[in-house]
Structure formats: C-alpha cells, structure tokens
Amino acid sequence: MSWGTAMKENKMPQKRISPVRAIPISFLLVIVAGSLLLLLPFSSVPGETTDITTAFFTATTSVCVTGLVVVDTCAHWSVFGQIVILLLIQIGGLGVVAVGAMVLLVRRVHFSLGDRILLSSSLNVDKRRGLLSFLTKIFKGTFLVEGIGAALYAVKFVPMYGLAKGLWASVFLSVSAFCNAGIDILKPDSMVSFNNSPYLMSITMALIVLGGLGFVVWFDLVDGLAAGIRRRLSPRAIVSHFSVHSKLVLVMTGILILLGAIGFFASEYSNPATIGNMSLSGKIWNSFFQSVTLRTAGFASVLQERLTEASCLLCYILMFIGGSPVGTAGGIKTVTAFLVIRNAASYIRQRREDIVFKRRVPEEMFRKAAAIVFVSFCTVCVMTLLLLNRGGISLADGLFEIVSALGTVGLSRALTPSLDTGGRWIVIVSMFLGRIGPISMAVFFAKPAGKENKVRHADGVFYVG
C-alpha cells in the first residue's frame, strides 16, 4: 500500500490530505501518543505522579525539540520515561513525516507522487528526484554525528557517573544537543555545573551548530570538500563550488555567533551572577556558548534569570532568528532574516534586483521572508499578551518564555515550572506553533484560494512612511 493512502482497494474516490495539513496533524498525533506513554505509572519514578498537563507539556517540548520543562527530567521520569522522551526528541528533530517515510522505505513500500510531495514539504526542500536517497543520507549522517558525539561525551561522563549511567547520559545529551532540544538528564541546572569545562562545552556547541546548519548544507559541504580534495583544488576554489544557500548559511551563522558572543561578553563581563567572577578564558567560552545555545538549543551554562537587560534584548533577537533551514533548529531562520534585511537595503539603495554571491534573489523569496517575519512577530505579541494576562509575570520573563517557546529554544528565566495550568497550555501552543511554523498554521486554517482575478486594476496612490 502506498504511504499516506488509506484503503487502497476502496473504489470510492479518495481525497488526499494536503502536505500543509498533514504535517501539523502528524506532529500532533505523535505528541498525543507520547503523552499517553508518559502518563503510564512506570514512566515516572516511584513516588511521583504525572498529570495530563505535565505529560502533554513534556511530550510537546520533546517532539518540538524545544527544551522547556515543568519537572526535573532526571528526578521525575524513570528510565522508561526518559527513553520515551529521547525517542520523541529524535522523531521531532528529524521530522515526523521523515521518520515515517524512512520506516516505510526500509520495508520497501512503494512511494507515490503524492507521498514524495508530502515528504518534500516536510523536509522543506524543492526536489522530487533523488528525494529518498537524500532522506537516507540524512538518517545516516544524523546517527553518525550523534554516535561520535556520544563517544566524546562518554570520555568524561563514564568516569564521572559509571559505565551504565555515563553511557546513557552521553547518548541522551548527544541526541538532545544535535536535535537542538536542550533537555538533559544530568542536573536540573543544565550545563551550569559544567561551565568550567571547555571540553564538554565545545562538544555541545559543535553538535548544536551541526544540527542547526541544515542537512542541505551538510551534504553540499561534504560533496564539495570531497571533490575538491580529489581534484586537488585550492581552498578558495572549493568554496566557490558550494551552493549559494550553503555560503549564505555559513556566513550568517558565523556572523550571528560572533556578534552574539561579543554582545554577551560586553554585557555580562562585570556581572558576578553570570560570568563576572570567571577567568578571561572562562568568560570567552561561556559567551560563545550562550550565543550558540540561543540558536534554538536550550542548554544553559549561566542562569538566564540573572542576565542583564542588555543581554535579554540580545537573547530575544537571536532566539527569534534561530537556526538555518532544513535542519533541526527553529526560529524564522537565518536566511529569512538575511532576505528581510537585504530587501530593505535594496530599497534604500534603489536597486531593482538583488544579487547574492553572483545569483539573483527571486522576488517571491523576499515576499515569503516578509510574510514569515510578520506572522511570527504577530504570534509573539499575541502569545506574550496571553501569558502576561495570567498575572504575576514580568514583561522580561514573559517575553523571554514565549520567544524561547516559539523559537524552540528551551531557555527560561526560571518561569516555566512556576506557570499555572493556563500558562503552561499557552506555552504548549507556542512550542507547537514554533516547530511547524506560525505561517504554516495560518495556511492550515486559511480558506482554499479562489480563482485568480484576471482583471488588472489601475495602480492606487498610497503614502507610506
């Protein structure tokens, strides 16, 4: 039976669910299934009980690879519960549709054209040929990187926690970091206890960045480097063969990480509650870690509630932007932010077309980027207002929580555990919107497009600015 086609032998006409509706529904179904598993008595440690809201919140933050938690993952959940959480993180990081497609691919199930369209939409790539091969490469690359990350973590964690717990912690942290989930089973303060370990911080940052770059960039870099080495090309020649998308993602990633680190270093340099009492190298390492983790990772090496107001503002911006397309990160994405800025610059400089790395940017891309930013910004405003109306929440904390949830970051100014039931459901909805994209939900509920108006109207006179 073709994937995504039910009741094949039924002669009644079938109506296929469009990708824009199938993808959110698939995520929701996995969240519900995960919630039911977490509600089982043996999912939590003896003496702990799990209510529906806590189970749904945990399943959502796992599938949406966010990282906000209302209970201590290590102290509340049993090994079984932690396994469920880890599986949800892996499924959410790779994509529910992609995981389902891989299972059927292993079973050698035939993929129809509609199945390929759905998978292409899920992966956010515009390709039909070689799509299944691309999917296989994603899974192989993911498990390889996560395996290497777990082995590197084990060097530290096995001597520290013993063989069984050390290996389990290494695997869990590696998957969580690569999928940009930010959930760990070590200590309730995340990476704060390890903020003096450049070794652990560098591994975590590497996994976060690799997951945030996006799979398209991965394979473009690997193929380009392999071809360049084989043909003995110079480094400059190798870089010139990378795609425009890969070049843009790498440049934007480097700029955002560097500027974020400089901003945090300057804002927190004298703050004794964060990095003020650290050595110079410690301040530099933790500034870079804070900048990297805001790329939707959610691990914290300093307490977020003790950041200065300047750092909080920087957090809002970096969390809102997030990582890069076709990866495990959230946010509006680096390329989207670049296109919005570039479009404004082009208008100011009165350019009729925009060229990036000797390639013209289609006008449709600018329109799409503007729509994503607008809908995302409106969603931040609405959800923040709803959360603040719960009462007793400051603007700084509430805005931080919502931007973190919508950007699937997972950092919090110690607000998440103290939220009431209503507040937690607001955050749950925010995490779900952040994972599938606010604009996707807008399209989901939109009415089908009517017939295109073939009448061309005269230009109107509008005054802007």
- Measured from the Cβ of residue 351, the count of other Cβ atoms closer than 10 Å reads 11
In a domain, 456, yes or no: no
Mean pLDDT of 330-359: 85
Long-range contact pairs involving 120-123 (C-beta distance under 8 Å, separation at least 24): 120/19, 121/19, 121/20, 121/23, 122/19, 122/23, 122/95, 122/96, 122/97, 122/98, 123/95, 123/98, 123/215, 123/326
- For residues 272 and 105, the model is more confident at 272
In this structure, of 11-20, 42-51, 258-267, 341-350, the range with the lowest mean pLDDT score is 11-20
pLDDT band at 23 (very low <50, low <70, confident <90, very high): confident
Among 241, 214, 212, 210, smallest CA distance to 225 is for 241
In a domain, 9, yes or no: no
The C-alpha torsion from 231 through 237 and 242 to 246, rounded to 10°, is: 140
d(CA 116, CA 103): 14
pLDDT band at 109 (very low <50, low <70, confident <90, very high): low
331 DSSP 8-state letter? S
Long-range contact pairs involving 32-35 (C-beta distance under 8 Å, separation at least 24): 32/59, 34/58, 34/59, 34/62, 34/63, 34/84, 34/88, 35/59
Choose from 207-216, 303-312, 453-462 the range with maximum mean pLDDT: 303-312
**CA–CA distances in Å: residue 408 to residues 31, 112, 427:** 15, 32, 11
In a domain, 365, yes or no: yes
For 254-264, letters b (16+ CB in 10 Å) and e give eebbeebbebb
In a domain, 300, yes or no: yes
Q: Does the pLDDT of residue 11 top 50, yes or no?
A: no
pLDDT band at 3 (very low <50, low <70, confident <90, very high): very low
Number of structural domains (the chain) is 1
Q: Does the pLDDT of residue 8 top 50, yes or no?
A: no
Taking the model in full, what pTM does it have?
0.85
pLDDT of residue 246: 86
Q: Please, what is the average pLDDT of the chain?
A: 84
The set of residues, in sequence order, having a beta carbon less than 8 Å from that of 196 and lying 6+ positions away, is: 278, 282
Q: Does the pLDDT of residue 460 top 80, yes or no?
A: no
pLDDT of residue 429: 94
pLDDT of residue 2: 46
pLDDT of residue 4: 47
Q: What percent of the chain has pLDDT over 90?
A: 46
Mean pLDDT of 220-227: 84
In this structure, of 173-182, 252-261, 353-362, the range with the lowest mean pLDDT score is 353-362
Widest pairwise Cα distance in the chain: 75
In this structure, of 53-62, 266-275, 285-294, 432-441, the range with the lowest mean pLDDT score is 432-441
Q: Report CA 83 to chain centroid distance, whole Å.
A: 21
User: Do residues 327 and 214 make contact, with C-beta atoms less than 8 angstroms apart?
Assistant: yes
Choose from 21-30, 216-225, 285-294 the range with maximum mean pLDDT: 285-294
Name the token pair of 22.
């199938």
In a domain, 1, yes or no: no
Residue 317's domain comprises 19-442
- Measured from the Cβ of residue 174, the count of other Cβ atoms closer than 10 Å reads 23
Among 261, 80, 299, smallest CA distance to 175 is for 299
pLDDT of residue 5: 46
Q: Does the pLDDT of residue 217 top 90, yes or no?
A: no
d(CA 424, CA 430): 10
Mean pLDDT of 236-241: 81
d(CA 371, CA 373): 6
d(CA 85, CA 176): 10
Determine whether 175 is exposed, middle or buried from the number of CB atoms within 10 Å of its CB (0-12, 13-18, 19+): buried
pLDDT of residue 356: 80
In a domain, 13, yes or no: no
pLDDT band at 279 (very low <50, low <70, confident <90, very high): very high
**CA–CA distances in Å: residue 395 to residues 316, 321, 341, 389:** 12, 20, 27, 11
Helix (H) or strand (E) holding 189: none
Among 365, 332, 333, smallest CA distance to 346 is for 365
Q: Does the pLDDT of residue 373 top 70, yes or no?
A: yes
181 DSSP 8-state letter? -
User: Do residues 342 and 244 make contact, with C-beta atoms less than 8 angstroms apart?
Assistant: no
pLDDT (tens digit, 9 = 90+) per residue, 385-436? 999 999 889 999 999 999 999 998 989 998 999 999 999 999 999 999 888 7
Q: Does the pLDDT of residue 17 top 70, yes or no?
A: no
Q: Does the pLDDT of residue 261 top 80, yes or no?
A: yes
d(CA 16, CA 14): 6
pLDDT (tens digit, 9 = 90+) per residue, 110-132? 666 665 665 665 555 565 566 77
Q: Does the pLDDT of residue 134 top 70, yes or no?
A: yes
d(CA 424, CA 302): 24
Q: Does the pLDDT of residue 245 top 80, yes or no?
A: yes
Mapping DSSP to helix (H, G, I), strand (E, B) and coil, where does residue 445 land?
Answer: helix
